[in-house]
Structure formats: C-alpha cells, structure tokens
Amino acid sequence: MDGNGRWAKKRGLPRSAGHGAGAKTFRMITRYCSDIGIKHLTLYAFSTENWRRPAEEVSALMKYFKQYLEEALRDFADDTVKVNFIGDITEFSPELQELMLENQRISADRTGMVLNLAMNYGGRAELVTAFKKIAKSIEEGKLSPDAINEQLISDSLYTAGQPDPDFIIRPSGEYRTSNFLLWQSAYAEYYIDDVLWPDYTKEHLNKALIEYSKRSRRFGGI
C-alpha cells in the first residue's frame, strides 16, 4: 500500500495525513475484494524496515493500526473475513499485540476471504525464521536434513497452508518487490500502477484484474 507520504507531500500535508487517507482506502479495497469473491488477500501494512522512519510517522501508523483493529472487533463481529497477521508481531506494543491476537481468535472460524496483514514483515526475515525452525527440528532429531524440500520450507513460513499469490499489485509506480513474499511470489504475476495508494479505487483494481485475466501463466513451461 505505497505512496501515502508522497500523496500528503503533494498536498502540503504531514505524512501522517497520507496514512490516514491510506487507511480509508485499505478499508474500502478490503471490503470490495471480499465482495467480489477473492479468496486470499495479503496487504503489506508495515515492513521490518519501516521502523527506521521518523518517530512521529511510526506513531501515526500505530494509531491507525489500533483504530482499525478496534473497529474490526466492534463493527465486523458478523463479518465473514478471516483475519491473519504475518510477520513478527512481538515488536509491537502489548496493547497492539493483544488486539491482533483477539482479531485472529474472533475470526478463526470464519469461512470467507482470508485477509493477511503483513505487520513487521520482511521476506528475508521470514525465510530466516523458517530456516531456524527447520534447523531446530533437525537438532532435536525430529527431522532429517534429507527431508528438506520446497514443500517443507513453504510449510515453515508465516503463510503455511495458504496458496502462493497469483497476482501482486504495486501502486505508486515503484518497480521493486520491497522484500515482499520473496519465496511465495516466485511465479506471481506483477502489475505496476502509477496511482498513489490513497487515490486507489475499485476501478483501478478492476482494471488490474482484467489485465491479469488476459495473461497466460506458464510457470516456467511452454
């Protein structure tokens, strides 16, 4: 969900205002994806590198995260969306961690769209965590090194049990992966859109999905 800061700067506003506008877009797009039948949606909300941003900006982001999590518990009790967090959430405040875990618990049995929120997430950090988990199993004699294969690694990631992404959309015109789902995205289709995230609409998403529908996915074959 990229471009919040640039959106604010273009309007002479503090970067926190961009994150506020981006939060509204997040709610709208999440609801729309659920309504049109998307089964899994992963949104990159906060990366392992985002802690390096100015303290004021990080504080504003934490405020919007808290608002969303409280809203989700209060207003979406009868919703079908299953909320899941990927990343190392132990770095967040105890209050935020409690809200995250409560959202996961409340929505655990829902059968609608799975919403993955990548929080304190980084693709490299995810792989390191997975490899440490595998190494510990080997050290404890529960696993043979010969048993290591692609499926085992996939099963050791935050997204274990979920399908790899089919389609990754990057708003704001940036041409890089930014450490997002490095293992899982090996054969994902990419789509770059110049629009900044706070200006992203259902129409932008529809255009991207139509483009995706025209592509032929060969997964390395012919």
Given 35, 50, 88, 194, the catalytic residue: 50
In CATH, the number for domain 4-213 is 3.40.1180.10
User: Could you tell me where the DSSP H helices lie in the chain?
Assistant: 4-10, 15-35, 55-75, 94-107, 123-139, 150-155, 202-213
Q: Catalytic residue at 194?
A: no
Q: What's the pLDDT at 211?
A: 97
pLDDT-derived band of residue 10, with 50, 70 and 90 as boundaries? very high
Given 2, 4, 103, 120, the catalytic residue: 2
For 33-86, write each residue's pLDDT tens digit: 999 999 999 999 999 999 999 999 999 899 999 999 998 888 777 789 999 999
Average pLDDT over residues 132-146: 97
| CB-CB neighbours of 221 under 10 Å | 5
SS3 of residue 144 by DSSP:
coil
Q: What's the pLDDT at 221?
A: 75
Task: Name the percent of the chain lying above pLDDT 90.
Answer: 91
Q: Catalytic residue at 2?
A: yes
Q: Both tokens of residue 141?
A: 């004699």
Q: Are 101 and 156 in contact (CB under 8 A)?
A: no
Average pLDDT over residues 92-116: 95
For 163-188, write each residue's pLDDT tens digit: 999 999 999 999 999 999 999 999 99
pTM above 0.75, yes or no: yes
Q: What's the pLDDT at 59?
A: 93
